[in-house]
Structure 1
Amino acid sequence: MSKKMHFAVILLNCPMHHSVGSWRLPRSLVGYNYARPAFWIDIARILERGKLDMLFMADGVGVSDRYGHSIETTIRYGVQCPTHDAVPLVSMLAPVTQRLGLAATISTAYLPPQYLARLLSTLDHLTEGRVGWNVVTSPLENALKQYTHDERYDRADEYLDVLRKMWSSWEPDAVVMDRESGIYADPAKVHPVNHEGKYFKVTGPAQVPWSPQGHPVIIQAGQSDRGLEFAARHAEAVFAVHQTPAAMKRVYDDVKARAKKYGRSSGDVKVLWGLMPIVGETEDAAKAKERALIEAVPQLGGLTQLSTHIGYDLSRVPLDTPLEEFGAENGEGLLQALSHGLGIQGLAKMLMKENIGRSVTVGEAAQFYGSGIGPKIVGTPLQVANQLEDIFDEVGGDGFMLITHYLPGCLEEFVEMVVPILQKRGRFRTDYEGTTLREHLMQE
């Protein structure tokens, strides 16, 4: 029996998701206001109709001034700005869906663990066990600027430890609701946390009882060495971006090996690869969509997005500078130069020669990155399905995080044209077998 793929879709609550200028495409947002319910309800229902695992909401706090130390280009080109909060969407979409997983990005930098434990347990109850949490440490903002890159993860390790204690402080059968005796919950089954560590001191217990999943599905997207170690210890799903199957395979095997160090099996951690399917009725039609997407990227917009994500002001770097020479003036390489900032080191690594297959300049990287992170697979429904299978089989699993271009049309095309091919081949589910997000992800 062939191993089945998992699919999720990554979006932000904003008009421009991961492709700068995608909102300009002729079929984007036609008849929709992205900040209104109808847009998100339609997207969620499309994904559930396709039996996808989850809608994954990325997020970030603040308006970036990384490029040129100004917010001007961020505002002018709508570079993931304005961005509305992702968490309310989970509550809004839960009643209009029945099985689709709903995951939100929330930083460990801003909220006390006691509050976040309650928030996520509440969402798990409201979704009946379909919520996921993408753990980030706010590399793009200055909330934790007193900490180094690795120290932010050290703090997040303890943060997760606190949350797990909070979530398990109510035993699953603590709520008895005995009408005759008048006892609502058994105090013997509700336990104080009594955590005192380097970063947090929490007594507990949690305010919210055991939720349908026990705790939300933990998702992580860090791709630095420290980020991968964090993911191997905590994550149930890892979102990663690399340009070639060979690079994906290296990271896939690395994550699975790291997980075993923590007593986890390889199946406990699913790795979802970010890529953008561009589907057309003909190959030429699909390639025309790809060209339109790339041409919609203003150069300054691409530079602004790349600067924001890698945490380095690229207005100071000549556009014809090869990435391999980035930081050479200081005797450093790319990652060493970026380590002084607050960027996402894994995204910088994604753009290097060994992951792309060729050397690129700063200008090329910005145009490439601005049209959507991750590789693009372009073609007819059959060609896209074939490419997905080839990548999936070469890497070894587990599935894909779909990056979008024009919305909601590109998702409808994928669900209506590509999914049936994969279902017919036995490579994707024809129906949900479970009710919770964790059950979806654990389905083989």
Structure 2
Amino acid sequence: MGRKYFGTDGVRGCVGEFPITPEFVMRIGYAAGVSLVAREHLPPGERPAILIGKDTRISGYMLEAALEAGFAAAGVDVMLAGPIPTPAVAYLTRALRLQAGVVLSASHNPFYDNGIKFFSAGGTKLPDAMEAEIEAHLDEPMGCVDSSRLGRARRINDAAGRYIEFCKSTFPNELDLRGLRIALDCAHGAAYNIAPSVFHELGADVVSVGVEPNGLNINDGVGATRPENLRKTVLAQGADIGIALDGDGDRLIMVDRQGEIYDGDKLIYVIAAARRAAGRLDGVVGTLMSNLGFEHAVGRLGVPFARAKVGDRYVLELLHEKGWQLGGENSGHIICLDCHSTGDAIVSALQVLAALKQRGQTLAESCADLVFYPQRLINVRLPSGFDWKADQGIDSAREAAERELGDSGRVLLRPSGTEPLLRVMVEGRDGEVVERLARQIAGAVEQAVG
């Protein structure tokens, strides 16, 4: 049965519109708290404890208070971390031996959106069974425990410092960043007061932008989803390398000193090549959107490659299934399970920098064997209820394109998870062929829907 409130990455929406309202957020805190109290068999007098972190959106103040009230009403203690990256909540939940962690963030979305994401005690995404249990409690009336059992709240004053030290611990002890000038774009987001310290304390000369959040400017023309801002900063400041994070600090894009932009596929390849050379890489997980050239380049390293559905949640699931350590998305979500239980932009950037240091290479040199294939994506609007999979014309167009491409390309038809669109993607070695085939399939879809 499909989930009613939870998507692939928690609950998300526009602030002030259901479900991102104070009332609903209080109710989801209460529902999650009821689930925790029922699951945790603690000694008499002890209460479960959870951590709440948030990014820099102005709505975070309101939603944090509502969430705290819901947990307290269920008899759960709350620890408040303030503005802190999503992966920091995952780390601190595990490090402090708490029962769960919650992040208030809409990641790379504009300030007027927000969301709620849960982490388990182990610092991983909440299991489907737990989300289903919370949803079941959401459909019940909200109550309140006896006053003697109400949860308490306190603030963790050293949350940022703890996380800074954790990030630094993932960088090899024998290396440092001295002599490296880094341009760093924090997207006016959750890492604004953390990421600059990490790279500076490892020895880098850091030029920071996107570190003046005002509650309204998160991701606004800055960060990993707007890498042109970082590119301009790198060139203007004469930086050796640029690092861009998104609003909640789990997405990474980098820029070299010539202004070339490096997405998630390229950065994963840099890490993979270094780990393969060191004899410590079992395989790499990408997604359905990972470039075919990336897959072929990983294959030339002699490393197995597997594709997950789009979404870091599915990358993580496949990594655990395969027993591998490295994977991610071309959007910049990179997971290094030997360093952290979830995707972390700061930690991933440190793994890229370590790879470059260990091999004495630049980003361009590390990616010399990686050649991206031309890729064309066309979105076609679908009428409500239209079953595109059952249409013979669409299927015939897809099969014809696949025959023409052979092993040198691929076709992907994927419905959007948020809009009534079918995404038609074709990639291959020849850009003109790719463009023609993508338009032919998109035309077949348009003809089928009338």
Q: In terms of Rg, which structure is larger? A: 2
TM-score of the pair, normalised by structure 2: 0.26
TM-score of the pair, normalised by structure 1: 0.26
Q: Where is the helix percentage greater, Structure 1 or Structure 2?
A: 1
- The structure with higher relative contact order (CA 8 Å, sep 6+) is 1
